[in-house]
Amino acid sequence: MIAERLCTLREEDGAVAVLDQTQLPHRHAMRHLASLADAVHAIRAMLVRGAPLIGVTAAYGVALALKEGAGDEALARALETLAAARPTAVNLGWALARMRGRLALLPPARRREAAWAEARAIATEDAEANRRIGAHGLALLEAAPRRPVNVMTHCNAGWLATTAWGTALAPVYAAREAGLPLHVWVSETRPRNQGLLTAWELREAGIPHTLIADNAAGHLLRQGLADLVIVGADRIAANGDTANKVGTVLKALAAADCGVPFHVAAPCSSIDLACADGAAIPIEERGGDEVRRVAGFDRHGAPATLAIAAETTPVANPAFDITPARLVTGVVTERGRCAPDGLRALAGGSP
Ligand code: MRU
């Protein structure tokens, strides 16, 4: 798998190197993060993206911040600054709470080393959690009625969104390893086009896939061309309402109407039992230029941006939407599968 050659994040001489996802799929460029400001920028500008990877980067962001000072004030400032980087993915707050829990009671002189170790542990556990999601989710693909199995996904919830394997794509990779014939429908995911990242991942892994415009998903579902939908999550509320990349709820509505199972695959770090339901999940609103313009690379390979709407066109750009639990067939986590109303039992206890 390409993840063995490229990686989303690695430690490098007291700094962190991340794969700059704003350059993909056209260029493979690693960027060095050497400070708290670098980590915040990487998350906010989406050099790193995807809920689990945002959490891991934030954890390393704390380690980077402590290079400049490891006292209580510096630690509090780092946690607060990172927490404000992006609002929807709960993995960010989850990772920071874990860093706080590990570091706050230590004397400052011992915090730096402990921060690196804890960030490393979060990264390692993320990879293992995703591997398990793949193993648990494989049964869903094996149970599909025909071969090749046709999976529909949205956004990018592959290894690029994590430290390894991905979440929604983990069962796809597991199926590939098990020799199950399959094909994936990949929606482009305007306005940031994370579907292009998914198409790139699948191409590199040799998994048959077809890129579609977001608007084509309903038609394909009505034609019976998908056996199941699997998406990732940025935050799952206690009742199973799920925040994921904007456009997810349209697929869930269409899948429900067509009788196609709709599954959410996410680690327990994406489950927020403190959020009673989807109404309590903050939805990130991003800048209007993401919608007014399209970004890509010209035929010489240079980054280019094209305006597709007037500069003055009013734009709404919610980055996520909420899929109500009633449209979710099941949730796949590293601890196993459950119905959306079974999350408390699955995720509430200790690991
Ligand atoms: O804005 P992004 O690209 O960070 O949004 C990513 C998603 O919505 C993913 O589907 C979600 O984080 C799950 S990633 C394993």
Question: How far does residue 245's CA lie from ligand 1's centre (Å)?
Answer: 6
Distances (CA, A) of 69 to 11, 36, 72, 255: 20, 11, 9, 51
- pLDDT tens track for 196-228: 999 999 999 999 999 999 999 999 999 999 999
Cα separation, 347 vs 326, in Å, equals 19
DSSP category for residue 13:
T
The pLDDT score that the predictor gives to residue 297 is 87
Q: Is 330's C-beta closer than 6 angstroms to any atom of ligand 1?
A: no
Pick from 221, 118, 120, 135: which is nearest to 177 by CA? 135
Q: CB burial class (10 A; 0-12, 13-18, 19+) of residue 143?
A: exposed
The pLDDT score that the predictor gives to residue 270 is 98
Task: Pick the range with the lowest mean pLDDT from 26-35, 276-285, 296-305.
Answer: 296-305
- Cβ contact 190:217 at 8 Å: no
- Cβ contact 272:90 at 8 Å: yes
DSSP run (H or E) holding 336: strand 336-338
Cα separation, 120 vs 280, in Å, equals 31
Is the pLDDT at 171 greater than 90? The verdict is: yes
Is the pLDDT at 69 greater than 70? The verdict is: yes
What is the DSSP track for 105-158? TS-HHHHHHHHHHHHHHHHHHHHHHHHHHHHHHHHHHHTSSSSSEEEEE-S--S
What is the DSSP track for 217-281? HHHHHHTT--SEEEE--SEEETTS-EEEETTHHHHHHHHHHHT--EEEE--GGGEETT--SGGGS
**CATH architecture designation of domain 140-347:** 3-Layer(aba) Sandwich (3.40)
Q: Is 43's C-beta closer than 6 angstroms to any atom of ligand 1?
A: no
For residue 37, give the amino acid letter.
A
Task: For ligand 1, pick from 49, 126, 130 the residue to mutate: most ligand atoms within 8 Å of CB.
Answer: 49
Q: Is 245's C-beta closer than 6 angstroms to any atom of ligand 1?
A: yes
The pLDDT score that the predictor gives to residue 254 is 98
- pLDDT tens track for 124-149: 999 999 999 999 999 999 999 999 99
Higher per-residue pLDDT: 301 or 95: 95
Distances (CA, A) of 342 to 132, 163, 268, 298, 337: 18, 27, 13, 48, 9
Question: How far does residue 156's CA lie from ligand 1's centre (Å)?
Answer: 6
Q: Give the domain ranges of the chain.
A: 2-127, 140-347
The pLDDT score that the predictor gives to residue 5 is 67
DSSP run (H or E) holding 320: strand 320-323
Distances (CA, A) of 50 to 16, 179, 229, 300: 17, 27, 18, 29
- Annotation marks residue 234 as catalytic: yes
Question: How far does residue 79's CA lie from ligand 1's centre (Å)?
Answer: 22
Percent of the chain clearing pLDDT 90 (strictly above):
93
Q: Is 169's C-beta closer than 6 angstroms to any atom of ligand 1?
A: no
Of the options 3.40.30.10, 1.20.120.420, 3.50.50.100, 1.10.4010.10, the CATH number for the domain spanning 2-127:
1.20.120.420
Mean pLDDT of 51-80: 97
Distant-in-sequence, close-in-space partners of 146: CB < 8 Å, separation ≥ 6:
227
